[in-house]
Amino acid sequence: MRYTFGMRTLREVIADAKERKVAVGHFNISDSTQFDAIAEVARELQVPVMIGVSEGERKFIGVQQAVALVQALRAVGQEIYLNADHTKTIDGIKEAIDAGFDEVLFDGTELKVDENIPKAKEAVAYARASSRDVIVEGELGYIGKSSAVLTEIPEGAGLDKTDPEVAARFVQETGIDMLAPSVGNIHGMLKDVPDPRIDIERILAISTAVSVPLVLHGASGNSDEDVAAAIQAGISVVHINTEIRVAYRHGIEEGLKKNDDVAPYKYLSVGAEEMKEVVRKKLQLFAKNG
Ligand SMILES: [Zn+2]
């Protein structure tokens, strides 16, 4: 990946957010319309931003294509970074690092901790052997896997909140750069009711036990109050996916209803506008200290 002179690396951006007790927003995309919408709001607010593509999302958009989108804006000076979100295989980790991603998340949450550790370690070794500074995130505790509107909490999700001592051992033994803990958060968001409360005390305990920045996944559906408190307690990156998916789809439906034009840019742009409102509110919230 090409770097514009003077541009901060993702590692520097996150270290700065941790220091200032704010968070970097991480938003997932499936296509370039969503990418443009997120990038535009980040430019307007003059904040760095992270783009995430999970295995399904990057299969759709293309691994190289996702890198090219980010690279195009980096070349003109925007602090925008790319994460290979929820990657379950080492082959997937290697592919993303080779393609030029800034970050990879090895998701071993469906493994036992003792199986998660060697794989996360392998991801770290591959990242360190690359010629670039690639961040490796590890994850502890199952929080569900679907970024969808849910009628109930997925079975088993959020039950095994991350133990601060296990977190410390996990970070120490794997050498990961960031940790995604299970602290009452779930992927997806509940229909009509708020998500369960985030366990702020647990975040504080984990951030005291480990020195690496913490990442809050599945923050769609959580109250602004909870997310702000989570950031003050030690969260440095916040992931939002479901809420922007809902806004994008709703906007496209409205765009299709409004006219029977077949030009995709006409109805997709209505989806982008609705998405931008969500992204703007989230980025403003994450940038506030206290
Ligand atoms: Zn996630």
Tell me the pLDDT tens digit for each residue of 36-64. Answer: 999 999 999 999 999 999 999 999 999 99
Give the per-residue pLDDT at 290: 66
137-154 pLDDT per residue, tens: 999 998 998 899 999 898
Q: From ligand 1's centre to the CA of 157, what distance in Å?
A: 12
Give the per-residue pLDDT at 50: 98
**Confidence band, pLDDT 50/70/90 cuts, at residue 73:** very high
Q: From ligand 1's centre to the CA of 154, what distance in Å?
A: 14
Q: From ligand 1's centre to the CA of 256, what distance in Å?
A: 30
Give the per-residue pLDDT at 194: 85
Give the per-residue pLDDT at 5: 59
The catalytic residue positions are 85
**Confidence band, pLDDT 50/70/90 cuts, at residue 4:** low
Q: Give the tokens for residue 76.
A: 């003109």
**Apex 21 CA angle, 201 and 220, nearest 5:** 65
**Confidence band, pLDDT 50/70/90 cuts, at residue 1:** very low
Q: Give the tokens for residue 119.
A: 């794989």
Q: From ligand 1's centre to the CA of 266, what distance in Å?
A: 31
pLDDT at 124 over 90: yes
pLDDT at 3 over 70: no
pTM of the model: 0.96
Average pLDDT over residues 219-242: 96
Q: How far, in Å, are 27, 97, 169 from residue 274 at the CA level?
A: 14, 32, 42
**Confidence band, pLDDT 50/70/90 cuts, at residue 218:** very high
How many residues can be counted in the chain? Answer: 290
Average pLDDT over residues 204-229: 96
pLDDT at 74 over 50: yes
What is the Cα–Cα distance from 187 to 217, expressed in whole angstroms? 7
Average pLDDT over residues 250-276: 94
Q: Give the tokens for residue 166.
A: 């296990």
Q: From ligand 1's centre to the CA of 170, what distance in Å?
A: 18
Q: From ligand 1's centre to the CA of 260, what distance in Å?
A: 36
